[in-house]
Structure 1
Amino acid sequence: MDRTESLLTAPAAGSPATDPAPAPAPEPAVTPAQPPAEPPRRDPRWTRPALLGLLLATAVLYLWGLGASGWGNAFYSAAVQAGSESWKAFFYGSSDAANSITVDKTPASLWLMALSVRLFGLSSWSILVPQALLGVASVGVLHAAVRRWYGPVAGLLAGAVLALTPVATLMFRFNNPDALLVLLLVAAAYATVRAVETASTRWITLTGALVGLGFLTKMLQAFLVIPVFAGVYLLAAPTGLGRRIRQLLLSGLAVVVAAGWWVAVVELVPANARPYIGGSQHNSILELTLGYNGLGRITGDEEGSVGGAGRMGGGGPFSGQSGLLRMFGTEVGGQISWLLPAALILLVAGLWLAGRAARTDRTRAGLLLWGGWLLVTGLIFSFMSGIFHAYYTVALAPAVGALVGIGATLLWRARTTPPAPRWRGFAATVILAVTLAVTAWWSWRLLGRSADWYPWLRTAVLVAGLAVAGLLLLVDRLPRRVAPVLLALGAAAALAGPVAYSLQTAATPHTGSIPSAGPFVQGGFGPGGRGGFPGGGRMPGGMPVPGGQLPGFPGPQNGSAPNGGTAPNGQFPGLPGGGTAQFPGGDGRSQRGGGMGGLLDAREPSAELKALLAADADDYTWVAATVGSNNASGYQLATGEPVMPIGGFNGSDPSPTLAQFQRYIADGEIHYFIGGSGFRANGGSNASAEIAAWVAENFTAQTVDGVTVYDLSGGEQG
């Protein structure tokens, strides 16, 4: 037998085929061991170099040309800059070093980047490199988790699929919280694997702690895997039921402690001694957790948001309509779904192979672990009616990779492992061939959504995939040395589409709040996420934006300002930044700044405006105030000085109120106001519009390079 085929056929040391699970014990006093039935096999010499090669290739993919994305998501970059200058801003995740308001997430991901900036200075590299390294670590930990029970080939395949998933390439080259969240959840899955092996209290408690840290990274999204991890441990850990339950309760306590200590501090500190909690309407981290970033994402009832079910139609044009097929739709499919059909087929096939195994069978436990992760998280993403963005699906990539690696390996072993019935081996071969054929067909469909982008590739993928699938049906009649070649060709055909998308993603700068992997998709969201409206001046879904109209947004159509006032000729003088804001053009930005009037991307001040803001900066707490965090972040990153983001991300938080803002002016704490009124939606505060109107009535406007600026240093002018 060829050495590669032998490796695929032989299970890993510690796998279920060599380590039969013990019968359940009533309540053992000590943790039972699982002695191997035979001496553990050593991995071939090439497996470690192969892993190092995978990690090195992943690092190159995620790091190459990283600085081209600039600040990436400037909303978070401004908070990183603030945290690098103020430990208070660091702890709370404040948008500015003067601590007026926080970002609308828990701050763990900001901590890593802020520490990097403190060490290496403020730059796009010091912000983005930690994210790329989190991606490399995620690939390595996933490999370790899968390899432990299923062997090195399964681990390498799982890691490669994760590394090459387009949305993973996007998010590990970007500075959203998702990069750290993925690493923490993969590490929690690894800890669960270790816990299941020996019913280890230490490992299952670590699982809870890692998930709790995931909450401090992206709040309740981290908790989606809890029922899966707990259920797998409850099913498969080799100890009595009572002990399993007690261990899970201890793990739950670890979740509460790891997630809750920061929440407790924020809730106990008086509101006047900390920044306002961005994204909440009542300055409460619990409200933010359970509302805007919690159940509101499921139901669409997100007070203060500009999206949601009632306004965007079940998630809105940014993410496709909610429903069972959302993960395969135009806006999401190219991000995550390349190997999603294969993962689902292989999950079912793997469970079929596991059959009626013992309760502690690891083959079934691993499939339930990764399959449960995929199904629970994927279904919630599919049906949630609140704000959902396609890049959230990076949380599915580890599960897809694990299921592909595990399933393909199990089916290949089933071909030749005695004493299985001959029909069982033939059925496994057929399933492998069908899986490859379906994957090639689906890649052909996805590539067809970008018909003008390397049109030959989709044909090559389909032909190669179907040809190799056909040859797999004949593999037992071919020379043994042909089998590894077929496997390599099949893997190449299956991964060609996501590889091409990932390379395009790595070669494209990404900025703004809604990045997207891959090339422009006809009728979809488009490339790059530049300012949130990629695709050459079109709304998501390919809808043009004539005359500045914003379909699906609050207020009347046909040139209405976001707060309901009319704006003739489709012009919006009340939008953040002042002047006439023209909506997305070729690069997804308005004429003088961020996409959609600065809601989704940072404004880029001219040298003249930057010099104006920097003058006498040391005499003020904030060199300027403006509506919306993305507007403020652009000015803050350009000047290095605190800029107050009135109303938080959407401009709809009551921070500050008009009375508070007037006190700041009376105390001489704010130098300039950069014109704008912001967005009010879904019941949010109108404080930002009130502040903008009051400033316009009481101060003299000046225009600096097309941007309306008010000097507040002289007090009210009447």
Structure 2
Amino acid sequence: MYLWDLAASDYGNAFYAAAAQAGSQSWSAWFFGSLDARNFITVDKPPASLWVTGLSVRLFGMNSWSVLVPQAVMGVTAVAVLFAAVRRVVSHPDQGAVAGLIAGAVLAGTPAAALMFRFNNPDALLVLLLVVAAYGLARAVQVASWPWLTLVGVVLGTAFLTKMLQGFLVLPGFGLAYLTAAPTAWRNRLLHLTGALAALVVSAGWWVLAVQLTPATARPYIGGSTDNSVLNLAFGYNGLGRLEGHESDWGAATVGARNTSTGLHRLFTTEMGNEISWLLPVALLAVAFGGYLAARGRLGRDEWAALLSWGGWLLVTVLVFSYMQGTIHPYYTVALAPAIGALVGLSTLWAWRLRAGWDGRIAMAVLLGVGGWWSSVLLRHNHFGPVWLPTALLLITLTGALSVAVGRRWWMATGLIAGASAAAAGTVAFTVATVATPHHGAIPNAVSLLRPAPGLAERVAAGGWTGDEATNGQLAKMLTTTTTPWSAATNGSQSAAALELATRTSVMAIGGWSGDPTPTLAQFIDDVHAGRVAYYVEAGRGGAAQPQGRVIRSENHSASHSREIADWVAAHYPAITVGTSLVYRLE
């Protein structure tokens, strides 16, 4: 499913695709995560995911499959590792296999997962690393193994190099699980956790240290930072700025991405609800049910640790995503999918195991009923499928819940299978529709249910306005014939990425992705006079030639230095219009 018709999405996110191309052309650009092979500026995230796609492009050439197939492989691997992690915590092998299969199926059938496992944002690798860390934690808890716990630290450090602080949202649950459940003395548990934390710092910090020790003149500018440092990027634009809503204070120029409507309802409404919330209410109930069982002493040590680790993962991430005031995109919610899958699988097993008692039957009935009810709500709200489908699925799940509550064995088994199938039908159908939808741009959504304003998808990108850079054959030919280090400079990373993919050349992204303070006017003038840049392309609505020689520029320029550069170029070089772009020859 994840491999089906991948080429329909072309390069997916052109921003990261261009960086992967750059990494395939230059090992230095690959190491730093640069947008261009000449190392002008990095992307706004650390480079771990680009290391994977960059190697793939280097091995198989620049095409949509070499960019997107690694993400699909990560998705399949994440599902397999989740199955293994859930199966391991259940003492009975057959029961563990059933719980693991349910968990894996839920992850595979979540729209956000199908979206990100077929798209080249860093989230696919992030999810895989977090699931691998959860598996390592399960192994560590079983025998109080410090090597396995150290591995967890190494993997989570790598998650930091994938998407920075988002990779640490699982830490509270993981730490609490080992601290309370590992079969060894408290002193040993604390020592083991300290060692794992040290491993995390080393695995997360080696690249940061390498970048910081490299002179600024010998490496690219760190995109998204205000002072050309990784720490500023991690704790500013990709850290506190996201939580507090002050990314602009850290150099970010947010474009229509911030959601100021904070609260627990956020994950259940609009696009976020469509991508992740189908079985989220069931997972939240599973945490409560697991707490009830733990209080009554009905969970073994390994299952108790699993409840803490997966429940902590779910609750902390839900709270952060619900109340963060900065930029948040719906696809971020894929980080919740493994925890939802694990908790749905485990709670189903727990309820079935206790089916002889009233509490097990009530738990099964409630889980089924809530899952079917919320699925029908989402289907009806989105007008997805036949008009009778939401009602039919709700009736089936309620009938299944009633059959489970009655308590007769044959009725219970039939009701559970029918009710669970109906409750899962919505998320599966939406996932299939997500797979059938091509995805492009910086902020993909699962299924296109609404028609955008004419031309909006082509014009709007996080970072500015773009025009026909990706399809302008005349412009591409001009840039391809250049011999300078940078074939062109342009306003913003989005336009630069489109030109790089069209020409296979390096393009200087003035202002980067988020209005970064690079280059200064003096630096740009030096590069032009030294013959390092052939053209300046004022992309999209950035400018238009006027009869009097004036230039009208968009108000969407995100930094004053970008305007200064555009003014200097316009004052010193003649312009021609190529497609929708204003082009200046700087040689």
AA aligned opposite 2:16? Y
AA aligned opposite 2:392? A
- Answer whether contact 2:400 2:414 (CA < 8 A) is retained: no
Relative to 1, partners in 2 of residues 1:197 and 1:597: Cα closer, same or farther, differing over 3 Å?
closer
Q: Are 2:107 and 1:162 aligned?
A: yes
Q: Are 2:153 and 1:237 aligned?
A: no
Ranges in structure 1 where 5+ consecutive residues have no aligned partner? 1-60, 417-424, 521-525, 527-534, 538-584, 714-718
Counterpart among 675, 687, 696 of residue 561 in structure 2: 687
Relative to 1, partners in 2 of residues 1:287 and 1:600: Cα closer, same or farther, differing over 3 Å?
farther
Q: Which residue of 1 aligns with 2:579?
A: 705
Q: Which residue of 1 aligns with 2:457?
A: 588
Q: Are 2:481 and 1:536 aligned?
A: no
Relative to 1, partners in 2 of residues 1:356 and 1:241: Cα closer, same or farther, differing over 3 Å?
farther
Q: Which residue of 1 aligns with 2:93?
A: none
Q: Which residue of 1 aligns with 2:416?
A: 487
Q: Are 2:382 and 1:508 aligned?
A: no
**Offset at 1:146?**
0.4
Question: Alpha carbon RMSD of aligned pairs, Å?
Answer: 2.0
**Offset at 1:473?**
1.7
Q: Which residue of 1 aligns with 2:98?
A: 153
* 3-state SS, counterpart of residue 388 of structure 2: helix
Q: Which residue of 2 aligns with 1:366?
A: 306
Q: Which residue of 1 aligns with 2:159?
A: 214
| Structure 2 Cα separation of the partners of residues 88 and 678 of structure 1 | 34
Report 1 or 2 for greater relative contact order, CA contacts < 8 Å, sequence distance ≥ 6.
2
Q: Which residue of 2 aligns with 1:443?
A: 375
Q: Are 2:490 and 1:626 aligned?
A: yes
Q: Are 2:408 and 1:477 aligned?
A: yes
- Answer whether contact 2:18 2:500 (CA < 8 A) is retained: yes
| Structure 2 Cα separation of the partners of residues 600 and 340 of structure 1 | 37
Counterpart among 89, 110, 113 of residue 53 in structure 2: 113
| Structure 2 Cα separation of the partners of residues 253 and 449 of structure 1 | 48
| Structure 2 Cα separation of the partners of residues 602 and 645 of structure 1 | 16
**Pairwise mapping of residues 306-325 of structure 1 onto structure 2 (< 5 A)?**
306-307=253-254, 316=258, 319=259, 321-325=261-265
- Answer whether contact 1:170 1:506 (CA < 8 A) is retained: yes
Counterpart among 124, 128, 131 of residue 186 in structure 1: 131
AA aligned opposite 1:306? A
Counterpart among 665, 680, 684 of residue 528 in structure 2: 665
- Answer whether contact 1:354 1:363 (CA < 8 A) is retained: no
Q: Which moved more, 1:328-337 or 1:454-463?
A: 454-463
* 3-state SS, counterpart of residue 709 of structure 1: strand
- Answer whether contact 1:106 1:219 (CA < 8 A) is retained: yes
- Answer whether contact 2:467 2:580 (CA < 8 A) is retained: no
Q: Are 2:559 and 1:614 aligned?
A: no
Percent identity between the two aligned chains? 51
- Answer whether contact 1:306 1:679 (CA < 8 A) is retained: no
- Answer whether contact 1:116 1:127 (CA < 8 A) is retained: yes
| Structure 1 Cα separation of the partners of residues 408 and 303 of structure 2 | 29
| Structure 2 Cα separation of the partners of residues 457 and 109 of structure 1 | 39
After superposition, give the CA deviation of every residue in 1:413-466 in whole Å (9 maximum; x if it has no partner).
0113xxxxxxxx112212211221111111111112222654333222212212
**Offset at 1:687?**
1.4
Counterpart among 600, 605, 611 of residue 471 in structure 2: 605
Q: Are 2:4 and 1:138 aligned?
A: no
Relative to 1, partners in 2 of residues 1:596 and 1:78: Cα closer, same or farther, differing over 3 Å?
closer
**Offset at 1:613?**
1.6
- Answer whether contact 1:678 1:688 (CA < 8 A) is retained: no
Rg comparison, structure with higher value? 1
Relative to 1, partners in 2 of residues 1:602 and 1:171: Cα closer, same or farther, differing over 3 Å?
farther
AA aligned opposite 2:526? R
- Answer whether contact 1:212 1:259 (CA < 8 A) is retained: yes
Q: Which residue of 1 aligns with 2:516?
A: 653
Q: Are 2:240 and 1:300 aligned?
A: no
- Answer whether contact 2:372 2:424 (CA < 8 A) is retained: no
Relative to 1, partners in 2 of residues 1:383 and 1:220: Cα closer, same or farther, differing over 3 Å?
same
Q: Are 2:392 and 1:434 aligned?
A: no
Relative to 1, partners in 2 of residues 1:361 and 1:597: Cα closer, same or farther, differing over 3 Å?
closer
Q: Which moved more, 1:348-357 or 1:332-341?
A: 348-357
| Structure 1 Cα separation of the partners of residues 260 and 393 of structure 2 | 26
Relative to 1, partners in 2 of residues 1:601 and 1:387: Cα closer, same or farther, differing over 3 Å?
farther
Q: Which moved more, 1:189-198 or 1:491-500?
A: 491-500
**Offset at 1:674?**
0.8
* 3-state SS, counterpart of residue 271 of structure 2: coil
AA aligned opposite 1:503? V
- Answer whether contact 2:470 2:501 (CA < 8 A) is retained: no
* 3-state SS, counterpart of residue 277 of structure 2: helix
Q: Are 2:207 and 1:262 aligned?
A: yes
Q: Which residue of 2 aligns with 1:30?
A: none
* 3-state SS, counterpart of residue 625 of structure 1: strand
Q: Which residue of 2 aligns with 1:339?
A: 279
**Offset at 1:598?**
4.8
AA aligned opposite 1:294? G
- TM-score normalised by L of structure 1: 0.76
**Offset at 1:600?**
8.1
Relative to 1, partners in 2 of residues 1:134 and 1:678: Cα closer, same or farther, differing over 3 Å?
farther
Q: Which residue of 1 aligns with 2:234?
A: 289
* 3-state SS, counterpart of residue 668 of structure 1: coil
Counterpart among 696, 705, 710 of residue 570 in structure 2: 696
AA aligned opposite 1:589? E
**Pairwise mapping of residues 75-90 of structure 1 onto structure 2 (< 5 A)?**
75-90=15-30
| Structure 2 Cα separation of the partners of residues 536 and 87 of structure 1 | 40
